[in-house]
Chains A and B, each alone.
Chain A
Amino acid sequence: MKVNGVEHASARDPRRLLSDHLRHDLGLTGTHVGCEHGVCGCCTVLLDGAPVRSCLMLAVQAEGHNITTIEGLTRDGQALHPVQQAFHECHGLQCGFCTPGFVMSVVGLLAQHPNPTAQQIEEGIAGNLCRCTGYASIRRAVKRAAELSPSPRSGERRAEGET
């Protein structure tokens, strides 16, 4: 599988979870594990661009796919990705444990809806649990991320804005 653009060898054990493979075999510990039963969303990564829960997948199921983790959004020494920057500006994190999962969900959300409505924001983050913030600052961060994100096709952006 390709992780953050780099080809990696297969998991050594067929029952190894994708989350464990990323964290403990590849050392990408930014993907966190909060419940291991698919509810909290801390382990969210992008599979071919769409958010998935890496604790509900076996590593071998990701063979032949492109995985993006939080570490793949920007490089060390480079500016934060717009979603990361927005979370910082809006105090969208406290302990930071759920944060990578939220950020990946929001990256997926904005790919689908570059200028999301309040309802789309609500649904877009409703698969991730946060125990610290009470979500208000995360909602603000999603709106800010949409502002900071480079404009995609302007037509789509306008169409989204009208919904």
Chain B
Amino acid sequence: MTTRWFGAPVQRVEDDRLLRGHGRFTDDIDEGALECCFVRSPHAHARIKSIDASTARGMPGVVAVYTAADLPFGGLDLPLLIPHPNLTHGRTQRCLASEIVRYAGEAVAFVVATDRYAAEDAAELVAVDYEPLPVVITPEAAARAEHLVHDDVPGNIAAEMLQEVGDVHGALASAPRRKQLRFRYERGAASPMEGRAVWARWSADEHKLTVYDSTQSPTSIRGGLAVLFGLPESNVEVIAPDVGGGFGPKIMLFYPDELLVPFAAMQLGRPVKWTEDRQEHFTAVNQERGQVHEVEVGFDDDGRVLALSDEFIHDGGAYTPYGIILPIITAAQVPGPYRIPNYRVRFRDVYTNATPTSPYRGAGRPHACFVMERTLDVIASELGLDRAEVRRRNLIQPDQFPYDVGVAWQDGNTVVYDSGDYPRLLDRALQMLGPKPAGDHVGMGLGIYVEGTGVGPYEGAHVQVLVSGKVVAATGIPSQGQAHATVWAQVVADELGVDVKDVEVTSGDTRRFPWGVGTFASRGAVTAGNAMYVAARMVATKARQIAAEHLEANPDDLELVGGRVRVKGSPDHGIPLAAVAVLSNPVRYAFGGGTEAATQFAAKPRTGPPLQGGEEPGLEATGYYSPPGSTWASGCHAAYVRVDPRTFRLEILKYVVVHDCGRVINPLVLQGQIEGGVAQGIGGAFYERLAYDGDGQLRNASFMEFLIPYATEIPPIEIDHFETPSPLNPLGVKGAGEAGVIPVGAVIASAIEDATHIPITEMPLSPLKLYELTMSSS
């Protein structure tokens, strides 16, 4: 293959319409849709004694008010997406609660009206009589089980899992040095700039449901809706149009609105739309990161880790719709890039009266990285060794791949790192970081991580050369800003020998490609990228076969270059790809596009029927890629920060990233992913803490108080890449979407501790938190 487009900093094809204000986000779609508003529980835990919607139903503009009793699926538990044998007490919520609410923000009723203003007015008049129940809010309180979130879940424990590699007890007992540590991470929120939204239309004539959904997984939404409403999948279309950021929680399957909006559209015979507001986004959309870790580490006098035991509690929230993927990832990722000969990890996934959890960019990894990196800093401090040197002594070496960690991974396999060069990451980062800037209260922070990316099971792609010579390609997974339309075009253009501008990609539209899984877990480039490669190669093979007949040449002697299929070594002897597309269909209609060259009267007559032995019309193919296992990206971040001793403001003086995600499709897009990830990591480390009070009320459910960084908080990030290609897939790529965020908490903690000499064992921090820690340590 040529590598003309792969690896080039191709500017994005998505930009033009987005910059002109012609993007198409779900709330932009109207068609006279009715608009909706939820009635949500103000209590974190309460029994519903009664619901009276009669006044609301009589309000001007109100078309319908639904409670659980009004829904044919009102008594149905929503799906548990990923069951697991260790999830012994999985619980999911119902579409609308009618008996017990278990978090503030849980949906109770749904109002449909002529516009949003009328819907909100009416929602206030739905009278719900609640009997408050005791609230369990911290993971520690949940584990103590003084109160239960679910009556039938003893100890509030949804799942428990123990894994051990080696003999941790023995290794700890014989280790020259031991240390017990405790680390705590609190909840944060992904907060994409566009909240969630769903629009639906039911066509009674065509018996067809069309849904626009700001989702990361339209194919799965389609499958679920087809089952729920008893429709063939071909009668359900789900489109993720432009999606204004996702970062994880826009894949849940199902949020209540994803059922209620289509249901209302079918019931009422009119398009229906629901658009979330920011306040409800804070409590109605899944969150993540709450964990408490108790670590015991055994090490030698050189700083080598001999054994690590980690017992942690994962704050699952009120329900477990996403199974136990998060704590499984954390458990798998604690060892990171280090050789831990004896590793024992046990987690308990506990219920709390807070919003359910599901992956948010990083998904269990920032906390895992925090635990390991903080532990290594403690070892360095205990031994008076350089922090980088302690890491160097424990890193897995480049000749040790594939490296089997021996614990369970999220795809059901065990964790096996495919490739990497971790010492090089560290050395390069230190080189880029350079000497410490002068001045007081300046600290250095360091963190190395690995990231399992590109999980299966599969993605697919369809590629077709049109008779115009243009190429269309489609895959099931939608983009939330990752430039799918640009990077897939690069992959396809290389295989078909066309200009990248001649490839038009559609992603996340089940009308164009009905199969697939979703955009999550840094998997798009690996799964859909390789599926595009597979499908495009199938098309190229077909093009060579058709052209060979026309050119009276051997297919193996042909190449696709410059929009033509031509004989290698004699570039003038060829045929335009457009003409091959015409030839591919025995009914050779077309306007222009090479019909003269393709007419059957000009070509050598073919004996037998026009389509022979399994031939299909059209220069197109559908291909799939299913990874044998995850690809493991890696990186090292290092920073100098200054902490103002009076205001406890954080000033990041320098921040460097060295990153390895295998072969890079588009360095421009990759840089954006890393820069954005680091910014989100800085937010998660020092600004963004979801502040729940003891009653389970989120006290900072607005951008006034939940502080997403502005430009003023984010320093320039210096980035370097190198490539250790993945041996597991044809393109040699690994995922990059989550990488930037993973080690930032660990790096910031390490730097602040270095600057202030205050032990940092929790995340997120804030100026106030640093002040409190300073006061309590002095």
Are A32 and B25 within 8 A (Cβ)? yes
Q: Are B708 and A129 in contact (CB under 8 A)?
A: yes
Given contacts A35-B703, A98-B193, contact A132 B672 (CB under 8 A): yes
* Residue contact A29 to B675, C-beta cutoff 8 Å: no
Any A CB within 8 A of the CB of B717: yes
Residues of A within 8 A of B680 (CB): 131, 134
**Which chain A residues lie closer than 8 Å to B195 at the CB level?**
34
Tell yes or no: A94 within 8 A of B by CB: yes
30 contacts between A and B (CB under 8 A): A13-B117, A23-B28, A28-B21, A30-B20, A32-B25, A34-B194, A40-B278, A42-B193, A70-B19, A70-B21, A73-B20, A80-B20, A87-B15, A93-B18, A95-B244, A95-B245, A96-B15, A97-B25, A97-B245, A126-B711, A126-B712, A128-B710, A129-B193, A129-B708, A131-B247, A131-B708, A132-B672, A133-B679, A134-B679, A136-B714
Instruction: Please measure, in the bound complex, the distance between the C-alpha atom of A129 and the C-alpha atom of B244, giving whole angstroms.
Output: 13
In the assembled complex, how far is the CB of residue B115 from the closest CB belonging to chain A, in whole angstroms?
8
Interface residues on chain A, number (Cβ under 8 Å): 57
| Interface residue? A130 (CB, 8 A) | yes
CA A136 to CA B286, docked complex, whole Å: 28
Name A33's closest neighbour in chain B (CB-CB). B27
In angstroms, Cα B19 to Cα A41, docked, is: 16
Contacts of B714 in A (CB 8 A): 134-136
Q: Which residues of chain B in 90-133 are interfacial with respect to chain A, using CB atoms and an 8 Å cutoff? A: 115-117
Given A31-B21, A122-B711, check contact A97 B15 (CB 8 Å). no
Say yes or no: is B470 at the interface (Cβ < 8 Å to chain A).
no
B666-701, CB under 8 A of A: which get 1 and which 0?
A: 001101100111111000000000000000000000
Encode contact with A along B465-492: 1 for CB under 8 Å, 0 otherwise: 0000000000000001111000000000
**How far does the alpha carbon of A37 sit from the alpha carbon of B282 in the complex, in Å?**
14
The answer to whether the Cβ of B646 comes within 8 Å of any Cβ in the partner chain is no
Identity of the chain B residue whose Cβ is nearest the Cβ of A55 in the assembled complex: B278
Query: Residue among A33, A34, A71, A132 with the most chain B CB within 10 A?
Result: A132
Instruction: Tell whether A99 pairs with B18 under 8 Å between CB atoms, given A36-B277, A88-B11.
Output: yes
Q: Which A residues lie within 8 Å of B28 (CB)?
A: 23, 29
Given contacts A87-B19, A96-B15, A131-B193, could you give 5 more A-B pairs where the C-beta distance is less than 8 Å?
A40-B278, A94-B481, A97-B193, A122-B711, A134-B680
Interface residues of B in 338-355 (CB under 8 A from A): none
Q: From A36, A88, A99, give the contact of B278 (CB < 8 A).
A: A36
Q: Which of B20, B28, B277 is packed against the most chain A CB atoms within 10 Å?
A: B20
Contact with B along A24-63 (1 / 0, CB 8 A): 1001111111111101101000000000000000000000
For B176, list chain A residues within 8 Å (CB): none
5 nearest interchain CB pairs?
A: A30-B21, A97-B244, A95-B481, A96-B18, A134-B679
C-alpha gap A30/B242 in the complex (Å)? 12
Contact B677 A130 (CB under 8 A): no
| A-contact bits for B237-253, CB 8 A (1 contact / 0 none) | 00000111101000000
* A residues 82-140 in Cβ contact with B at 8 Å: 84, 87-89, 91, 93-100, 103, 122, 125-139
B674 and chain A: residue at smallest CB distance: A134
For residue A123, give the distance in angstroms from its CB to the closest CB of chain B. 8
Please tell me if the beta carbons of A125 and B702 are within 8 angstroms of each other in the complex. no
A49 to B714, CA, bound (A): 28
Q: Pick the contact of B702: A20, A39, A135 (CB < 8 A).
A: A39
CA separation between A137 and B708, bound complex, in Å? 18
Q: Could you list which residues of chain A lie within 8 angstroms of chain B, going by C-beta atoms?
A: 13, 15-16, 20, 23-24, 27-37, 39-40, 42, 69-71, 73-74, 76, 80, 84, 87-89, 91, 93-100, 103, 122, 125-139
Give every chain B residue within 8 A of A31 (Cβ-Cβ): 21
| C-alpha gap A69/B28 in the complex (Å) | 15
Within the complex, the shortest CB–CB distance from A59 to chain B, in Å, comes to 12
B419 at the A interface (CB under 8 A): no
Q: Does B192 have its Cβ within 8 Å of any Cβ on chain A? A: yes
Closest residue on chain A to residue B677 by CB atoms: A134
Q: How far is the CA of A138 from the CA of B243 in the complex (A)?
A: 20
Q: How far is the CA of A139 from the CA of B11 in the complex (A)?
A: 17
Distance from A56 Cβ to chain B, minimum over Cβ atoms (Å): 13
A37–B21 alpha-carbon span in the complex (Å): 21
Asked if A131 contacts B191 (CB within 8 A), the reply is yes
Q: How far is the CA of A34 from the CA of B191 in the complex (A)?
A: 10
Nearest chain-B residue to A20 (Cβ)?
A: B116
Within the assembled complex, what's the spacing in Å between the Cα atoms of A64 and B21? Answer: 24
Distance of A78 from chain B, by nearest CB (Å): 10
When chains A and B are docked, how far (Å) is the Cα of A93 from the Cα of B668? Answer: 11
Q: How close is A83's CB to chain B, nearest CB, in angstroms?
A: 9
Q: List the A residue with the shortest CB-CB distance to B482.
A: A94
The residue among A23, A24, A136 with the most chain B CB atoms within 10 A of its own CB is A136
